[in-house]
């Protein structure tokens, strides 16, 4: 397609990363929002959402010339609302130059639904759509069936700026928090690990106005190239958070080649949000502090949905001053936080919490299968439980997973089994019996043997029916 000249005020179809084209208008960026270096792009505000971003020229098409083409591709409700907003804007403009006023929308859920999700936009040969440096993700999207949730959370009020080190820093365009009760810290924030929990956490840090530099340890999964390291993130940020899968991953991240420890110098802060055992977190604290760094453990209680919603419960221990410095970050990612004293206490408490949760989940699965084999209705059992003292969102969601046969991970089964194993070891260390947890652990091990590791914890149900 021949190059089309675009200018300020033009209505366009803009494509962000691997997401479908969306109607917007080229506008002036906020005064403090610098244009990414080395990229010919325009700042676009999108109709029907609160989103705006720098978009490369080759990912823009004139609105009117491609309107019919785009409408044929997507019939989604949110998409139609966005198109209606454009037409309403044009009716009000009546040929006069005026500033863009985009009707607000509380959500862009559904943006990726329908045929538009399969739309193929042709990138240029010399400059592919994918990030030039995928290890530092601009959009941090988890591979879920609801990408619109992450898309909304991460691209909302987004700015991308290149630091002198070459690493990518992501910052919300507005300097004030979306909810006025949070004033984001002026400290540079780093985040390592963009799994089920990490992506949602970063989304909410961005929405609340924090500047965030990110890295993900699994290059193969993220399509990353070599050259960007945890050490670089730590060395360029004031406070670096990490959220990885288990004790080995947590140690490798800190002690491995180009790891966190190599970026630590006096005053640098490291906050480990992984769920690990007390011995692991104590060892990490010691090596960080030995280099003059400050350390806080802050594992989180919740799941992917609570992470996306900014409703996690944060259990912190270690450097009390660092805990206070993380105040705006914790407010952005969670509904409450607890400071539990010395390093190791948060790890122990988190394992106990997850031990209770994992055991309860196994009991739910056991009850549902017993109902089935005795000729009772599983749905009626759920209805009865939901009317009693055990009623909870957790109970209802996990039972619905089982009844629908939908085990898409919200909390990986392999991780709850890991936490049960660590909780049992914690009990053993103080000669305290944990027979309920031990029994539940055996059921999860059976589920893992049935290839359920990467499904939701509710897939423990399958250990009872095979």
Is residue 35 a part of any domain in this protein? yes
Is residue 110 a part of any domain in this protein? no
The pLDDT of residue 19: 59
- Same domain, yes or no, for 232 and 330? yes
How far, in Å, CA of 295 to CA of 317, rounded?
9
- Same domain, yes or no, for 217 and 247? yes
Is residue 102 a part of any domain in this protein? no
Three state DSSP letters for 82-122 = HHHHHHHHHHHHCCCCCCCCCCCCCCCCCCCCCHHHHCCCC
Question: For residue 465, what are its two tokens?
Answer: 């029916």
- Same domain, yes or no, for 230 and 322? yes
The pLDDT of residue 17: 58
Choose one of 39, 74, 90: the last residue of a domain. 90
- Same domain, yes or no, for 372 and 445? yes
- Same domain, yes or no, for 198 and 308? yes
The pLDDT of residue 154: 39
> Given the DSSP bridges, would you call strands 300-301 and 294-297 parallel, antiparallel or unpaired?
unpaired
Dihedral sign for Cα 229, 232, 234, 240, please: negative
Choose one of 40, 71, 90: the last residue of a domain. 90
- Same domain, yes or no, for 209 and 338? yes
Containing H/E element for 189? strand 189-192
Q: How many of the other CB atoms lie within 10 Å of CB of 334?
A: 23
- Same domain, yes or no, for 338 and 197? yes
Residue 32: give the domain boundaries: 10-90
How far, in Å, CA of 188 to CA of 2, rounded?
42
The pLDDT of residue 71: 84
Identify the CATH number of the domain in which residue 210 sits. Answer: 3.40.50.720
Is residue 201 a part of any domain in this protein? yes
Q: How far is CA 269 from CA 316, 326, 376, in A?
A: 14, 10, 55
Is residue 175 a part of any domain in this protein? no
For helices 77-93 and 63-73, the axis angle rounded to 10 degrees is 160
How far, in Å, CA of 322 to CA of 239, rounded?
9
The pLDDT of residue 133: 34
Q: Are 6 and 56 in contact (CB under 8 A)?
A: no
Q: How many domains does the chain have?
A: 3
- Same domain, yes or no, for 410 and 301? no
79-121 per-position pLDDT tens digit: 888 888 888 888 887 655 444 444 433 333 333 333 333 333 4
- Same domain, yes or no, for 393 and 446? yes
> Given the DSSP bridges, would you call strands 158-162 and 41-46 parallel, antiparallel or unpaired?
unpaired
Choose one of 343, 375, 403: the last residue of a domain. 343
- Same domain, yes or no, for 327 and 354? no
Containing H/E element for 351? helix 345-373
The pLDDT of residue 140: 28
Mean pLDDT for back-to-back runs of 10 residues, the chain (466 residues) = 72 76 87 69 80 82 89 77 86 60 37 35 37 31 30 35 37 36 87 92 91 75 47 95 96 94 96 97 96 97 94 97 96 95 98 98 98 97 96 95 96 98 98 98 98 98 94
The pLDDT of residue 28: 87
How far, in Å, CA of 322 to CA of 393, rounded?
33
Phi-psi region of 17 (alpha: psi -120 to 50; beta: other; left: phi over 0): left
Question: For residue 245, what are its two tokens?
Answer: 């899968």
């Amino acid at each position: 397609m021949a190059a089309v000249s675009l200018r300020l005020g033009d209505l366009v179809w803009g494509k962000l990363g691997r997401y479908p084209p969306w109607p917007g208008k080229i506008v002036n960026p906020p005064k403090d929002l610098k244009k990414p270096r080395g990229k010919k792009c325009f700042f676009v505000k999108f109709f029907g959402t609160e989103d705006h971003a720098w978009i490369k020229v080759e990912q823009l098409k004139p609105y009117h010339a491609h309107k019919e083409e785009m409408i044929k591709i997507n019939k989604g409700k949110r998409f139609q609302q966005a198109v209606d907003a454009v037409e309403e804007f044009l009716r009000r403009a009546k040929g006069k130059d005026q500033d863009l006023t985009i009707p607000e929308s509380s959500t862009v859920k559904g943006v990726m639904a329908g045929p538009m999700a399969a739309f193929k936009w042709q990138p240029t040969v010399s400059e592919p759509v994918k990030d030039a440096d995928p290890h530092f993700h601009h959009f941090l999207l988890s591979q879920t069936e609801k990408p619109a949730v992450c898309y909304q959370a991460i691209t909302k009020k987004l700015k991308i700026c290149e630091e002198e080190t070459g690493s990518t820093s992501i910052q919300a365009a507005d300097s004030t928090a979306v909810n006025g009760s949070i004033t984001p810290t002026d400290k540079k924030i780093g985040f390592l690990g963009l799994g089920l929990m990490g992506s949602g956490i970063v989304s909410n840090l961005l929405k609340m106005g924090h500047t965030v530099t990110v890295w993900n340890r699994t290059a193969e999964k993220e399509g990353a190239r070599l050259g960007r390291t945890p050490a670089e993130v730590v060395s360029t940020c004031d406070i670096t958070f990490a959220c990885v899968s288990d004790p080995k991953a947590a140690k490798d991240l800190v002690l491995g080649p180009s790891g966190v420890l190599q970026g630590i110098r006096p005053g640098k802060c490291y906050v480990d949000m992984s769920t690990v055992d007390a011995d692991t977190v104590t060892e990490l604290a010691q090596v960080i502090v030995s280099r003059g760094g400050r350390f806080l453990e802050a594992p989180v209680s919740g799941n992917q949905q609570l992470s996306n919603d900014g409703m996690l419960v944060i259990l912190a221990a270690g450097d009390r001053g660092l805990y206070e410095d993380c105040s705006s970050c914790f407010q952005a990612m969670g509904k409450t936080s607890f400071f539990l004293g010395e390093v190791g206490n948060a790890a122990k408490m988190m394992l106990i919490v997850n031990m209770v949760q994992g055991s309860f989940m196994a009991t739910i699965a056991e009850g549902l299968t017993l109902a089935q084999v005795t000729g009772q209705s599983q749905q009626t059992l759920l209805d009865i439980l939901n009317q009693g003292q055990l009623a909870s969102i957790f109970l209802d969601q996990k039972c619905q997973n089982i009844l629908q046969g939908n085990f898409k991970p919200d909390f990986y089964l392999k991780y709850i089994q890991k936490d049960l194993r660590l909780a049992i070891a914690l009990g053993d260390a103080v000669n305290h019996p944990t027979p309920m947890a031990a029994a539940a652990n055996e059921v999860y091990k059976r589920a893992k043997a049935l290839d359920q590791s990467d499904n939701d914890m509710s897939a423990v149900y399958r250990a009872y029916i095979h």
